[in-house]
Homo-oligomer: A and B are copies of this chain.
Amino acid sequence: MYEMLILKLAHFYPLSSEDKAGLRAVCQGRPRHVGARQQISSHSSSHDTILVLLRGWVCPYKHLSDGRWQILSFQVPGDYFDCEFQLGGEGDYALRTVTDSIVLELPRKQLEHATMVYPGLAKAFRRCELVQAAVLREWVLSLGQRNAKERCAHLICELFWRLRAVELTQSDVMDFPLTQEEVAGAIGVSTVHANRVLQDLRGAGLIEQHGKKLKILDLGRLEAVALFTPHFLNLDHGIRDFDDGVPRDLRRDYPSALRRPRMVNGEPAGRVRPSLSAG
């Protein structure tokens, strides 16, 4: 079952069979079952553990003192979260399950030892964390610049690509256990508006929903609506050698000036205005 973690890590860095064996040796704890829509807390005697999600969906979220709350990401099987998020005290966010889930607690000490012995593991974990951060940055971009429809489409695209990476899709169909309230909490809109946006996407022939399954009818158009590119997910299946170290000039192909498009009826118009010239 914890092959899920190996499957995921191998997407970010090619693991040797020794790496995998070393990881398996650490994964000897007893998996813990957590019901749907429950808080997850570290039950072990020490909070110095890493939680690996073996089955189900989980979401970290944050809330304001007046009760408003925001989902920060969705975790799917193979994902892990570092309980160090507590930063030595109360964490700045909380974790709850979306569906029935099975989590495994790995002792940090043992895991760190394994990453010392098997450098491939260290690189895979490190890269994994960088990707998590990249996803969070993409959410900032989404919440700041995309409108509700684009954000919703983008969320679906992100989940589809990530689930496909751990082989949890069947062709164009994926699990989609989120309620509209959870979608709303993730894309920063009200539940009512999330409903309208989802209807909009269905009406446009982009997706179909049946029960807790979601079918992508036209991935290309959906990605176009979302302004989605899978680049930030770095799902290269560990094929590339990231360590060749060829120096490149960053962002050479970026426009020399920041621009914002005019928006007309939620769609960017052809013309853009120059802005924050890059000098």
Least Cβ–Cβ distance between A201 and chain B, in angstroms: 19
Tell me which of A87-95, A158-166, A203-211 binds B.
Answer: A87-95
Separation in Å of the A260 CB from the closest CB of chain B?
Answer: 5
A259 interfacial by beta-carbon distance below 8 Å:
yes
- Tallying the copies of this chain within the complex gives 2
- Chain A 3-38 interface residues, beta-carbon cutoff 8 Å to B: 35-38
- Chain B residues, Cβ within 8 Å of A255: 67
For residue A182, which residue of chain B has the nearest CB?
B276
Contact B130–A133 (Cβ < 8 Å): no
Docked Cα-Cα span, A86 to B251, in Å, equals 10
Query: Are A88 and B38 in contact (CB-based, < 8 A)?
Result: no
Q: Does A237 contact B (CB under 8 A)?
A: no
Q: Which 5 residue pairs across A and B have the least CB separation, nearest first?
A: A144-B188, A88-B242, A143-B143, A70-B144, A41-B250
- Show 20 A/B contacts (Cβ-Cβ < 8 Å), sorted by A: A36-B279, A39-B278, A47-B248, A63-B254, A63-B258, A66-B261, A68-B261, A68-B268, A69-B145, A70-B141, A87-B127, A87-B130, A87-B242, A88-B243, A89-B242, A90-B250, A92-B137, A94-B251, A140-B143, A144-B187
